[in-house]
Structure formats: C-alpha cells, structure tokens
Amino acid sequence: MTSKLFIHGGRIWTGDAASPWAEAALVEDGTFTAVGKRRYVESKMEPRTTQSLDAGGSLVIPGITDAHMHLTAYCKQGLYLDLSGARSIGEMLDRIAARVEESGNRHCIRAVNYNETMWTEPVAPTMEMLDRVAQGKALLVSRYCGHVHVANRIAIREGGLWESGDPNVVRGANGEPSGILNESAAAPILDMITRECESSGRLLALAEEGCRKLASMGITAVHACDVPSYGLPEEISVFQSLYEAGKLPLRVIAYHDRLPNLSFRSGLGNAFVSYGGFKLLVDGNLGGRTAAMRKDFSDKPGSKGQLNHTDAELIDLLCEAQARDIQVQIHMIGDAAIDQAIRAMQQLRAETGRAPKFPTRFNHVIVSPPDQASAMRKLGVVLDVQPIQAFTDRNMAPARLGGERMMYTYSFRRLYDAGFLMTGSSDGPMEDPNPWLGMWASVCRTDVDGSPLQEAKPDEVLRLDEVLRLYTANPYRAIGWGDAYGRIAEGAKADFVVVEGNPFDNDRQRLRNVRVRNTFVEGTETYAASTSNR
C-alpha cells in the first residue's frame, strides 16, 4: 500500500521564490507529489488510504540543514565537563576540582567550552592553575572555539609535548611550555583522552541522543566537519550504524580534513550518510587571536594571527581535490586568510583553465573587506556563514578588531546582495546548534533586549524568507544536490518542519523562542512535541 500524508490547516512556506506559499501538500512514499491550493491537492488524494496532518494554523517549512557543525563532538558533549556556564576563572576551577574528585580511577580529565571573554574579569586559565586542581591526573581544558586548549604539566609530558618543536605549543620566557596549546597542538593529548574515555557503545548511544535533539530543533540534515587534530573527529561509522538500525533521524554529509586515500569522489554514500568532501583550515580564530589578519589585532599589537599553509601548499591541496572531483570547504576567519584562498584559487584556475566540478565553499568569512567580494564572485564560491556568532562574539570581536574592521565583520546583507549562494549553520558545539537562534541573529542583529550590538553595523540584517533559504534550499545547492531537497515542491523529498504559530507574523525578536511541533524526513516523523509541551 502506498504511504500517503495530506498536510493542511496551516501556512506552507515552500522555499520557491516564484511560488512561496501553499495551502496544502501531499506526500507519497517520501516525496511531495502535490503542492498548492487545498482543492488542487485534495483532487490528487485517495481519502481512504491517506493520513492527515493538520498544522493547526502553524507554519510549515522545508527541513532545516546545519551546513557546518561538528556532529560527533556535539553528540558526545556529555562525556566531558561542560564549562559554558562558568562565570569566572574561580568558578571554572571549582568545577574542574569537583570533577577530579569524582573521577575515581580515571587518569585523564577533560573540560570543554570555557569562554573567558564572557567573564567580568577575562582571565584565561594557565598550566599552574590546572596543576593545583589536577591531583596527579592529566588535565586538558578546551576553549569553546576549539582552537585553544590549556593543559597541565602531566598532560603535556605524557602527550610528548614538553620537548615538541611545534610553534603552537606556546612557551614562556624560560623556554618551557606555558600550558597553552593553539590550533592542532593538543592532538596527542586528545588522542590519549579518547583512548581512555570513549567506547564505541557509549558513542552510539550519545550519537542517537544528539541526533534526536537536533531533530527536535527542526534539523533534517547536517554537514558534519571532521577535524580530529582539534579534538573534533567525526565517527561516521556510528551514524551508518544508526541508519542501518533505522534510528538516524537526519541526513549526514561528511567533510574530512584529509583527502581520502581511496579513489572516490564527493557524493559517495546514500541520501542519509554520504561523503561531502575535503575540509581545509587556512587560519585559526578570533578568540585565540590565531585568525590571519592584514593588520594587527587591536588588543594585541604585533600579532596578526597565522596562516596554516604556504600559498604553494594550499594550491597543491586544492589542485589534487579538483583533479579528483572532491569538493573543498575552506575555513577562513581573517581577511588575510580570505586573501590567501582567493590567490590560490585564482592561480589554480589560471593553470587548469577550468572551475571545480563542485563549488568551493568559503566557510566563516567573518572579517571580509568590501574589496574581496568581486574576486570571490568571479570564483563562484559558496559562502558558509554562522549568524549566531555575530551575537556570541559581541563582546570579544570589537576588542580584537576595533571599530573600523567591525564595519565589515559578519556582513550578511552586503554579501547576500552581492549575489553569493550562502548557507546558514551553527559551528556547533562551539555554538548552540538551535537554528532559530541563528535566524534571530540574522534578522535582528541585536542583543536579547533589542539593543544594538556594540560597534556592529546594524543594517547587515536579512529578511526571514532570505535567511530561511540559507538553512533550507541553499545547503543542497551548495553540495550539488539541486532542487530535489530543501523545498516543498512537487518531486522534492518530503523533509519538512511544523513550527508553533507563524514566525512571519510575530515580532522578529521572538524568533529565538520558536518551538518545533513536528519534524519529518522523507515523510517519516522524526520528532513530535508532546501535547503537554504545545
């Protein structure tokens, strides 16, 4: 018997610019077969074999994609001490001391998500502080950005970093490690912690729970980015196991920070777990001052951050990926990093005489002066942006960049109007993956009380319909899947979300409080809010 579902009783935002609204839709075997006026859709039904979903006056939208997050890291947050709620260095150390006390025979302790820029006194932890609370255990504390870690003396020695020549193992005036490990320097300690703390069975349970949480936010697909040297590996086999067990509620498109040593291209897999491409980091981040900048950081004269590759190295990596039809997603935060990526792509285009099969994805693009837009447009790149960071960086970014550069930081409106294909994402778990927070930040660009953000350009906002496209149709276009996903249209896969009420009719500030009622992937319900929560 054909599985059919009749959707009615609400406003359906289709994601189709030519016909953005519909009264009803019909799903058959996971695909939309009729979308439009209710009378038209009803004419396609077989009432006795069709189930009905009454949206009750609420909004129905295409399924939401988070186009850049670290899915496994998000799922396994519960394994480690979460410091995101700590309000001072003292509170942070107290929490770590309590975790050490209760750790029993475990030797390795990890804490994550500290953010000193949100504290009244922004004092970052040091090796000596961690030594005092570690009680002979190996202790690693990771900043929320994932680009800065602090280790105690035991962890540094056992990780083999005491004599390391890695410049990202920061040393003090005496030449000894300070405990600060930038970028990928903490990889040996992270490997040591993973071996002790992460079992496959535990990861499977955490992955199922984490994916269900994402489904409750209306997320039907994730572009999962693997960066193991930063403590952000993607355990793709775990999601394959969930899919095989019928327990995977969303699509996983995976990007890895190494080119595969097998001869396959982007797109390998199926519609639920597939290979997206190559993840490449050309610089660091603002919080750790490792983003590559044209000019010094405003709060650290003499420092312009760092590039992770020479131009020649970057060109070689891009050339190999293009020759193998592997899509590339390039992490770039600072304007000098964007400059380098543009130079490398221009030289590659001149040498090969052709564009890559899949558009190159410029990820983050946080500090981008207006002079870069034209060159990026000529290269046909996709821009992957994380709107929530315009809000969460509201205290840190002005200090790092100064007022002049803040005028071209998180330039959503300017870049959208320049004609780029843009996608929306969270960079979770560094940020909350709730997409409605990102949409709120895109549409409002204010603090939670409605007041303007410090030194931020207030007119860099998007309309709700524009930002919805960043999270629905555009991610599929970015990976070459076309219009068969991310829209409510005849012939498209039936990934859709019912949200409470209609955000188009509400005060924009209420976007961050939107609640999801139902989430469907290919016509199968993956989340339903309980009646008591409606």
pLDDT one-digit tens code per residue, 129-156: 999 999 999 999 999 888 899 999 999 9
Residues 135 and 37 in one domain: no
Element containing residue 72 per DSSP (H, E)? helix 71-75
Contact (Cβ atoms closer than 8 angstroms) between residue 318 and residue 359: no
Contact (Cβ atoms closer than 8 angstroms) between residue 47 and residue 8: no
Q: What are the φ/ψ torsions at residue 329 (nearest 5 degrees)?
A: -115, 120
Residues 23 and 111 in one domain: no
What confidence category does residue 48 fall into, taking pLDDT thresholds of 50, 70 and 90? confident
Domain end among 150, 175, 197: 197
**27 pLDDT more than 80:** yes
- Span 411-426, average pLDDT: 98
- Span 369-392, average pLDDT: 97
Per the domain annotation, does 374 fall within a domain? no
Per the domain annotation, does 203 fall within a domain? no
Q: Which pLDDT score is estimated for 194?
A: 85
d(CA 71, CA 68): 9
Per the domain annotation, does 519 fall within a domain? yes
Per the domain annotation, does 82 fall within a domain? yes
Q: In one letter, which amino acid is 343?
A: R
Stated length of the chain: 534
**195 pLDDT more than 90:** no
Element containing residue 213 per DSSP (H, E)? helix 200-216
Mean pLDDT of the chain: 94
- In angstroms, the Cα distances linking 342 to 196, 328, 346, 365, 379 are 42, 13, 6, 12, 8
Q: Which pLDDT score is estimated for 2?
A: 53
Per the domain annotation, does 230 fall within a domain? no
Per the domain annotation, does 128 fall within a domain? yes
Lowest mean pLDDT among 46-50, 121-125, 175-179, 396-400: 46-50
**CA angle (23, 29, 34) in 5-degree steps:** 25
**193 pLDDT more than 70:** yes
Residues 86 and 189 in one domain: yes
Q: Which pLDDT score is estimated for 475?
A: 98
Lowest mean pLDDT among 147-161, 182-196, 341-355, 388-402: 182-196
Tokens describing residue 48: 């006795």
What angle do helix axes 335-352 and 311-323 make, rounded to 10 degrees? Answer: 50
What angle do helix axes 435-444 and 464-471 make, rounded to 10 degrees? Answer: 140
Q: In one letter, which amino acid is 483?
A: D
Here the CATH number for the domain that contains residue 97 is: 3.10.310.70
Which residue has tokens 């490792």?
Answer: 290
If one compares 183 and 215, the residue with the highest pLDDT of the two is 215
Residues 109 and 191 in one domain: yes
Q: Which pLDDT score is estimated for 461?
A: 97
Beta bridge partners of 34: 26
Q: What pTM does this model have?
A: 0.88
Per the domain annotation, does 120 fall within a domain? yes
Here the CATH number for the domain that contains residue 22 is: 2.30.40.10
Beta bridge partners of 114: 143
- Span 358-376, average pLDDT: 98
pLDDT tens digit sequence for 68-96: 999 999 998 888 888 988 999 999 999 99
Contact (Cβ atoms closer than 8 angstroms) between residue 174 and residue 42: no
Residue 28 is part of which domain span? Answer: 4-63+493-533
Residues 179 and 90 in one domain: yes
Residues 59 and 81 in one domain: no
**CA angle (355, 358, 364) in 5-degree steps:** 100
Residues 103 and 131 in one domain: yes
Q: Which pLDDT score is estimated for 534?
A: 39
Residues 94 and 57 in one domain: no
Provide the pairing of β-strand 169-171 with 177-182: antiparallel
pLDDT tens digit sequence for 304-322: 999 999 999 999 999 999 9
Residues 40 and 89 in one domain: no
- Span 27-42, average pLDDT: 96
Residues 13 and 114 in one domain: no
Residues 184 and 88 in one domain: yes
d(CA 480, CA 120): 46
Q: For residue 150, give the DSSP letter.
A: E
pLDDT tens digit sequence for 505-534: 989 999 999 999 999 999 999 999 974 343
Domain end among 167, 197, 227: 197
What confidence category does residue 228 fall into, taking pLDDT thresholds of 50, 70 and 90? confident
Residues 129 and 166 in one domain: yes
Per the domain annotation, does 514 fall within a domain? yes
- Span 159-166, average pLDDT: 92
d(CA 316, CA 244): 37
Which residue has tokens 């302790």?
Answer: 109
Q: For residue 413, what are the contacts with CB-CB under 8 A and spacing of at least 6?
A: 459, 460, 461, 462
Q: Residues 498, 32, 486, 16: is their CA dihedral positive or negative?
A: negative
Contact (Cβ atoms closer than 8 angstroms) between residue 236 and residue 273: yes
Domain end among 197, 212, 241: 197
Tokens describing residue 354: 């052709």
Number of domains in the chain: 2
